[in-house]
Amino acid sequence: MPLGKFIHYIKGGTKRVYLDYAAATPVHPDVYEAMVPYFAKVYGNPSAIHREGQEARGVVEHARKRVARTLAIRPEGVLFTSGGTESNNLAISGVVEAVHAAGRAYEDMEVISTKIEHLSVIETLKRLEQKGVNIVWLPVDDEGLVQAHDLESLLSPNTVLVTIAYVNSEVGVEMPIKQITRTVRAYNKKHDTHVLTHTDAAQAPLWLPCELDKLGVDMLSLDTGKCYGPKGMGVLAMRHGVQIAPQMGGGGQELALRPGTENVPLIVGGALALTRAQDTWEDRAKIVRRLRDILLAKLEKEVPGVVLNGSREHRVANNVNISIPGIDSEFLVVSLDIAGIAASTKSACSGASGGGSTVVREITGDEARATSTVRFSLGEDITEAELERTVVAVKTHAEKMQHFEEKGDVD
């Protein structure tokens, strides 16, 4: 079944426009079909030594090899997790705890990151800070980008990890990961240190290459729920030789770094989704980038006051994050939902907390922009007609709000 028809089917035949692919994607029909047998027909525990268990073990290891080939690493460098959040936690805390176990005090360690990271990174860093680890914040410019020379000035003998997202989950800015890793490697070589690099790549597989060697990173986090795979499935990919400490106690699964019975159906589906995403990312990005630019151009033309958040040039192919100062972003998203259009104000993991976008606030310093943001994230099946409908809905809402304000009906 073609993806467009499948999405129409799972939406119950409604004519809604879904523009929140950065939060969640539907499971692709091929991925769905691949998972089905492993819910009931192949049901053994992969740790069991009997035939049923070993059949499940073979399936898991086949999926691991598939992901390893896709990311160009060794199979033992692929850890299956519950999603991007767990992968980020395991990577960051895992490095710090491994270094601590080797004899270094928390107070003698530094981790470098930015204040516009995903909440799973920010909260993990806060917990490490409470233990005594020094968190060094790398500045971002008004386009949401970091500069390699700023990173170079912050690296020190105490630095153990640099963690910066490949693609920002809210404004879609693509960070210069290759420059960042080159800077860290040069520092390591010059000072005989061993600073590791990690990137949250949850938003990347559909639109950008994710091979670790091409990016130069030591660790990379993925979430298959962002690339037409199942939710609740993620990967932490690690270069050979990287040492991390487990963050949970239990069995010996996943090299004893992520204990717990493997979720065989999700592993099968997630591996296929990641492979599919990476095999076709260039063609997909080219098509969707054109549609993204059409949407942005029409919004800027039809809706007064629209301003783009984040870099226009260094931007992932499917992201349009705008502010309309004077418009309440949550009210706008509700209005769009009523009109049959799904969008968001910020990343799904921070959306329930209310308030403005901390990312937009950090890069612009403008509270009006932070509280009037809306994120449109496109999928590979989006049409120009759906984008036109979206522009009309945004314009209509903005005009109504302006009318009410002029009449004094709103504060």
- Provide the annotated active-site residues: 349
Q: Which amino acid is at 297?
A: A
Cα 137 to Cα 115: distance, rounded to the nearest angstrom: 7
How far from 95 is each of 21, 99, 183, 238, CA to CA, in Å? 31, 6, 19, 11
CA-based torsion, 123, 231, 207, 329: positive or negative: negative
Joined together, the tokens standing for residue 407 give 């009449």
Q: Which of 326, 316, 260, 323 is nearest to 289 (CA)?
A: 316
CA angle 315, 318, 323 (to 5 degrees): 70
Instruction: Please list, in sequence order, all residues whose beta carbon lies within 8 angstroms of the beta carbon of residue 41, skipping any fewer than 6 positions away.
Output: none
Cα diameter, the chain? 75
Cα 65 to Cα 78: distance, rounded to the nearest angstrom: 8
Q: Give the CB-side neighbour count of residue 238, counting CA atoms within 13 A.
A: 24
Cα 150 to Cα 76: distance, rounded to the nearest angstrom: 34
Joined together, the tokens standing for residue 328 give 């309440």
Burial pattern 87-97, b for ≥16 Cβ within 10 A else e, equals: bbbbbbbbbbb
The answer to whether residues 135 and 184 touch, using CB atoms and an 8 Å cutoff, is no
The answer to whether residues 332 and 394 touch, using CB atoms and an 8 Å cutoff, is yes
Instruction: Please list, in sequence order, all residues whose beta carbon lies within 8 angstroms of the beta carbon of residue 81, skipping any fewer than 6 positions away.
Output: 87, 90, 233, 234, 235, 236, 258
Joined together, the tokens standing for residue 240 give 């050979």
